[in-house]
Amino acid sequence: MGFLLPLLSSFPVSAQNGNSTEISLIPLPVKVETRSGFFTLSPTTRLVADAALKDITDLFASIINTPTGYQLLPEKNDNNCIHFTINDTYNETLGNEGYILDVTPARIDISANKPAGLFYAMQSLIQLLPKEIESGTKAAQENWVVPCVKITDYPRFGWRGLMLDVSRHYFPKESVKKYIDQLAKYKMNVFHWHLTDDQGWRIEIKSLPELTSIGAWRAPRMGLWWTRQPRAKNEPASYGGYYTQDDVKEIVKYAQERFVTIIPEIDVPGHSLAALAAYPNLSCTGGPFNVNVGNVFYAKEDNALCPGNEQSFEFMDKVITELATLFPAPYIHIGGDECYKGFWKKCDKCKKRMAVEKLKTAEELQSYFIKRMEKIIISKGKKMIGWDEILEGGLAPEATVMSWRGIKGGVKAANMNHAVIMTPDDFCYLDLYQGDPAGEPPTYSKLTLRTSYNYEPLPDEITDHSLILGGQGNLWTESVPTYRHAEYMTWPRAFALAEVFWSPKTARNWNSFVHRMEDHFARYDVANVNYARSVYDASIRPVKADATQPLRVALDKELDDLDIYYTFDGTFPDRFSPKYTDALNIPKGADTFRMITYRNNQPVGKMITISIKEIEKRAGAK
pLDDT interval class at 225 (50, 70, 90): very high
- Catalytic: 338? yes
pLDDT interval class at 549 (50, 70, 90): confident
Closest CA to 81 of 69, 92, 89, 73: 73
pLDDT in tens, 124-176: 999 999 999 999 999 998 899 999 999 999 999 999 999 999 999 999 999 99
| Residue type at position 286 | G
The catalytically annotated residue of 169, 192, 194, 271 is 271
pLDDT in tens, 446-485: 999 999 999 999 999 999 999 999 999 999 999 999 999 9
pLDDT in tens, 560-604: 999 999 999 999 999 999 999 999 999 999 999 999 999 999 999
What local confidence, expressed as pLDDT, does residue 242 receive?
98
Distance (Å, rounded) from C-alpha 307 to C-alpha 332?
Answer: 20
Q: Which residues contact 261 (CB under 8 A, 6 or more apart)?
A: 189, 190, 191, 255, 329
The catalytically annotated residue of 250, 338, 363, 563 is 338
Distance (Å, rounded) from C-alpha 593 to C-alpha 580?
Answer: 13
pLDDT interval class at 548 (50, 70, 90): confident
- Catalytic: 271? yes
- Catalytic: 465? no
End-to-end CA distance of the chain: 57
Q: Which residues contact 3 (CB under 8 A, 6 or more apart)?
A: 30, 156, 504, 506, 507
CB atoms within 10 A of CB 581: 9
pLDDT interval class at 22 (50, 70, 90): low
Residue/partner pairs of 405-409 with CB below 8 Å, 24 or more apart: 407/459
69 forms beta bridges with none
Return the half-sphere exposure (C-beta side, CA atoms, 13 A cut-off) of residue 526.
20
Element (H, E) at 527: helix 510-527
pLDDT in tens, 99-110: 999 999 999 999
Whether 293 and 228 have beta carbons less than 8 Å apart is answered as yes
For residue 228, the SS3 value is coil
Per-residue pLDDT averaged across 275-293, rounded?
A: 97
Closest CA to 149 of 93, 102, 82: 102
Considering the chain, what is the average pLDDT of its residues?
94
Domains of the chain: 10-153 (3.30.379.10), 159-503 (3.20.20.80), 537-619 (2.60.40)
The catalytically annotated residue of 97, 197, 431, 478 is 197
- 3-state SS, one letter per residue, for 351-409: HHHHHHHCCCCHHHHHHHHHHHHHHHHHHCCCEEEEEHHHHCCCCCCCCEEEECCCCHH
pLDDT in tens, 356-401: 999 999 999 999 999 999 999 999 999 999 999 999 999 999 999 9
pLDDT interval class at 343 (50, 70, 90): very high
Distance (Å, rounded) from C-alpha 610 to C-alpha 597?
Answer: 15
